[in-house]
Amino acid sequence: MREKVINSLKRAFQSARIARISPIGIIATRFLVSIMITPIVLMSITYLLSFLQGYVSEEHGRLITVGSGIVDHVFTPPVVVAFSGFLALFIDRNGNGIPDRLEEQQRPQVPMNNERGEGKR
């Protein structure tokens, strides 16, 4: 089992290198998505098992309640916007291996004009 996991990770890195996509970006994206989906999956499985059993035990009820609280707090609009903004950092449209956000030229600082002449004496 351990060797299968290691081989699948090696294949993921190789396919990412062939496609000229940053492997770190792929791993970070998969990690964040798995963290955000885990509470939903656990809560859904617990709810389904409780439904099939015919009653909700104390442990299952607590898990469903805590899971719904986590989902309620994690999937607020600011968190989803921040998450999608973070994922946008890894988009590489031209395929050169550097995310487009990092290729953008920095805007020059606009000099501050003192229109009122304050500070001149």
For the segment 38-78, what is each residue's pLDDT rounded down to a tens digit? 888 988 999 999 999 999 999 999 988 998 888 888 778 88
DSSP state of 95: -
pLDDT greater at residue 47 or residue 10: 47
Within a 10 A sphere around the Cβ of 43, how many other Cβ atoms? Answer: 19
In 54-91, alpha helices (H): 58-74, 77-88
Q: What is the mean pLDDT of residues 14-42?
A: 73
3-state class of 118 per DSSP? coil
- pTM for this predicted structure: 0.49
Per the CB < 8 A criterion, the answer to whether 63 and 1 are in contact is: no
Most confident segment among 7-11, 31-35, 48-52 = 48-52
Average pLDDT over the chain, rounded to an integer:
77
Which pLDDT belongs to residue 52?
93
Q: How far apart are the first and last CA of the chain?
A: 78
For residues 93 and 105, the answer to whether their CB atoms sit within 8 Å is no
